[in-house]
Amino acid sequence: MLQDTVVILAMFALRLGVPFAATLLICFALNRVSANRAAALAKKRGEQQKAAGQAARLVRQLHCWEIKRCDPETRPSCPAYQRQNVPCWLAIQLAGQQLSDECLTCSLYDLRKVA
């Protein structure tokens, strides 16, 4: 009788324990895979942000009046010259002006896609 009870309890523990242990093992493995993937995505996102930051600094360092060799007397009236902390095309738009065809074909305007 005692032996039958022990066998029944052992079988019950086996019946519940094995699936429970397998479930825990699968959850642990999936959690590790998820953490590794999240770390890889965070690293990739960090690299992309770093590249975008470098491109944005490059855009800020380049001035259109230097590239176009604008006359020094006309520079103070230019919105891009007045707002040197933002890209020239953005300064023109912030001043409420339309971008010219020359702006739309400029290499500085093309760099906005990178930044």
Give the span between the Cα atoms of 99 and 84, in whole angstroms.
17
CA dist., res. 91 & res. 101, Å (int)? 16
Name the pTM for this structure: 0.45
The tens place of each residue's pLDDT in the chain, 115 residues long, gives: 889 899 998 898 889 888 999 999 999 999 999 999 999 998 988 888 787 667 666 655 678 888 888 888 888 888 888 888 888 888 888 888 888 888 888 877 776 665 5
**Neighbour-count burial of 75, counting CB atoms closer than 10 A to its CB (0-12 exposed, 13-18 middle, 19+ buried):** middle
| Cβ proximity of 78 and 65 under 8 Å | yes
Burial of 60 (0-12, 13-18, 19+ CB in 10 A): middle
**Model confidence over 3-34: pLDDT tens digits?**
989 999 889 888 988 899 999 999 999 999 99
